[in-house]
Chain A
């Protein structure tokens, strides 16, 4: 082959125009732009939107979905899904609050909560990854089982936190320097950690490979089942963390906590550009998806749009965004 052929097909990445074009092809750039436009619009439309108080409030609320979204994002990239996270986020509050009510420390309560999450993740992962049962079915099933278990244990009532530990209140409601909510810091730390994992650790790349083409991954010698299993564990643990923070915000173990949370999270993940087919998407995109939905809901509320219409708007935006993305992909 002539040497010139190899030179001519190389992309000239030095050109600023090409760089811009490739930047705008990136899903994340478009999402970031949408977020900026959204915030700008609401800032003009409502005087109380762009205030430190409101923005940090939204960040605090968004962080729970972001924490769980990271886990679900990882799992969807691996080609599986987990819709039991809402029930699980509700369920972990029970060991947490019960342990504290029996005189246990916050740390012990958290350990109990995470142990429950680990157990659920392992069961989901074993059934889906090792026994090969469709993960939507498995986790849909465990979503009902867990919720049923919560109702059975609590008798459909909230279990109040009787000990009233300050530290328990602080993890969900406290703010660093009185401004940045702790849950937002947790979400940020997890986001950075998992972005690093997915981009710079062989394990993260294997997750993409397994979701993108399991057959090729198997031929390359990856343990596909084990990788998927571990992704179920990740998803469950992060849902557990979200559940702990939620419980702190509610000040108790509420039997209906986390109802519908799973679909909010899946919607944000998909809006963030993660393909349900697996192997495609980024956690940065997931974070942007969560922020867009959170600011949207907050902003529409400030414009006094009825909750009913907020739901309709949010749903339409998700379909439009994913549809747009799909059409863009097909054109390429």
Chain B
């Protein structure tokens, strides 16, 4: 990659057709068909939006474009020539730059150095030409109008400016196609305006932009064309002018989802166990809700809406700014999981591996962890009673494991999740918060987890369920709270909750 930054435009080609043509793209993961026969065409100088619900296949498609995944079927042409990327470097070399949500910069380096990371300009004896780096970076920024100081340390910049650095890096490598994955998820409205100005500059230079999002307003503001994916399939590609809010939502949702999860319990009539008032944190604003014994309260929100943050705040895992959380009439001390556990609230985390399980330890210890106090005899754990109590839960929840001594890492995702549920129930909980309970679990085990959650509510627990999956939300919840940008925008009763109503509230 030449370090010739005097060229602000991408490599000129005589080819006048589309910048990128993907046809019939397919990608299969073990047990899942992530993409099937997907087409996508990007025109130079245009913004193409890629939309779809969580799990529609957007991420898979852009990872193929980034060289992170390889396609199993279909063809990809850049500037008219057939191509395929084996590594992220390949993609970059052929002019495709993907700006992921997670910024890929060295935070200890300056902005200018990050731009030249792939290839430092050096002099005859191989020393780095720092002046060239500084001057070229400054010249590049001036030309594309980025308000970023090239001498600043990247780690000290706000995310919005880090994004701009990534985009500038793309230009330094003369990218012809820039893909942005949910670029506004951590930006303020002002920064979003700046980003849009930058995108318009890119298209002005003839660069094709693929803008991946699920925010409708942004699409109407910036996109020329919209492609919608659903369940890994291509649904529609239309000019933005041919769409209305409703028609886009319709394309994203498609069919009505059947109630896949018949509930065994009747309507919840218990008393309020959990009550949250005026809860605010750095990510959450003025959250208030109540959860009753015997009910499943579902929380829905798109990426970045604040579901996980809420889950962690109400169990006392994360600090809060203001607000009051009471469980069974007793106030929970903020940022203190100990009183949370003793008052009877537990969290089933979204990330089982890093925040839930002790992977190397056997089923026994993983299950009894939170309830060890129950088995204490003069300061020692009485293993006999520990074992029999754990065995009881393992049988009740039908955890498939050869023995209690089996390391938990050898169990399937569904069975690991059951162990985590058992861990909390042994403790004698009143409220359980479950965050994305079926993430990474195969379909068969999913319905078992659903049945388990249904049964727990039936036994009188209040279940607070954070989910981004419509079917489990609609199937399990008694009430549905919808979040957008850190607020609860709507709380719907089971009978008034439709996909349209939920998605409309989630878009905010």
Contact = CB atoms under 8 A, between A and B. Distances in A.
B360 to A, nearest CB: 15
Name B's interface SS: loop
Interface stretch (A150-158, A213-221, A311-319): A213-221
A1 B197 contact: yes
Given A6-B142, A8-B147, A208 B152 contact: no
A201 B127 CA distance: 5
Contacts of B117: 209, 216, 220
A14 interface: no
Interface string B124-141: 001110100000000001
B118 A221 contact: yes
A200 B147 CA distance: 27
A202 to B, nearest CB: 4
B146 A202 contact: no
Interface string A255-299: 000000000000000000000000110000000000000000000
A5 B149 CA distance: 11
A3 B194 CA distance: 12
B128 A209 contact: no
B109 interface: yes
Interface string A175-206: 00000000000000000000010001110010
Contact of B108 (A6, A13, A208, A332): A208
Contacts of B156: 332
Contacts of B126: 201-202
Nearest to A6: B147
Given A11-B152, A200-B130, A279-B106, 15 more contacts: A1-B145, A1-B147, A6-B141, A6-B146, A6-B148, A9-B147, A200-B128, A202-B128, A205-B128, A208-B106, A216-B104, A216-B106, A219-B104, A221-B118, A332-B156
A11 B138 CA distance: 13
Interface string B198-212: 100100000000000
B107 interface: yes
Contact of B127 (A3, A200, A332): A200
Interface in B145-169: 145-149, 151-152, 156
Contacts of B409: none
Nearest to B200: A1
A221 B122 contact: no
Contacts of B149: 9-11
22 contacts: A1-B146, A1-B198, A5-B194, A6-B147, A7-B147, A9-B147, A10-B149, A11-B152, A13-B151, A201-B127, A201-B128, A202-B120, A202-B122, A205-B120, A208-B106, A208-B109, A216-B105, A217-B106, A219-B88, A219-B89, A220-B118, A279-B106
Contact of A212 (B107, B130, B201): B107
Contact of B147 (A5, A196, A205, A208): A5
A212 B154 CA distance: 12
Contacts of B478: none
Contacts of A209: 106, 109, 117
Contacts of B151: 11, 13
Nearest to B195: A1
Nearest to B100: A219
B436 interface: no
Interface of B: 88-89, 104-109, 113, 117-118, 120, 122, 126-128, 130, 141-142, 145-149, 151-152, 156, 194, 197-198, 201
Contacts of A6: 141-142, 145-148
B97 to A, nearest CB: 11
B104 A279 contact: no
A280 B149 CA distance: 21
Given A1-B146, A1-B147, A221 B108 contact: no
Name A's interface SS: helix
Interface of A: 1, 3, 5-11, 13, 196, 200-202, 205, 208-209, 212-213, 215-217, 219-221, 279-280, 332
Nearest to B196: A1
Contacts of B120: 202, 205
A202 B3 CA distance: 14
Contacts of B128: 200-202, 205
A10 B151 CA distance: 9
A13 B110 CA distance: 15
Nearest to B129: A200
Given A11-B152, A202-B120, A3 B145 contact: yes
A205 B126 CA distance: 13
A212 B107 CA distance: 7
Contact of A9 (B122, B127, B148, B197): B148
A90 B118 CA distance: 40
A201 B194 CA distance: 36
Contacts of B194: 1, 5
Question: When A and B form their complex, which 3 residue pairs have the shortest distance between CB atoms, in order from nearest?
Answer: A6-B147, A5-B147, A1-B197
Contact of A280 (B108, B127, B147, B201): B108
Contacts of A220: 117-118
A79 B142 CA distance: 35
Nearest to A211: B108
The CB with the most chain B CB atoms within 10 A, among A5, A216, A217, A280, is that of A216
Contacts of A202: 120, 122, 126, 128
A254 B226 CA distance: 76
A209 B145 CA distance: 27
B104 A215 contact: yes
A130 B154 CA distance: 30
B89 A221 contact: yes
Contacts of A215: 104
Nearest to A202: B120
Nearest to B144: A1
Contacts of B118: 220-221
Nearest to B126: A201
Nearest to A11: B149
Contacts of B148: 6, 9
A220 B113 CA distance: 12
Contacts of A10: 149
Contacts of A212: 106-109
B108 A279 contact: yes
A5 to B, nearest CB: 4
A205 B108 CA distance: 11
A137 B374 CA distance: 37
A9 B107 CA distance: 19
Nearest to A281: B108
Contacts of B145: 1, 3, 6
A6 B194 CA distance: 11
A106 B88 CA distance: 51
Contacts of A279: 106, 108
Contacts of A3: 145
A38 to B, nearest CB: 28
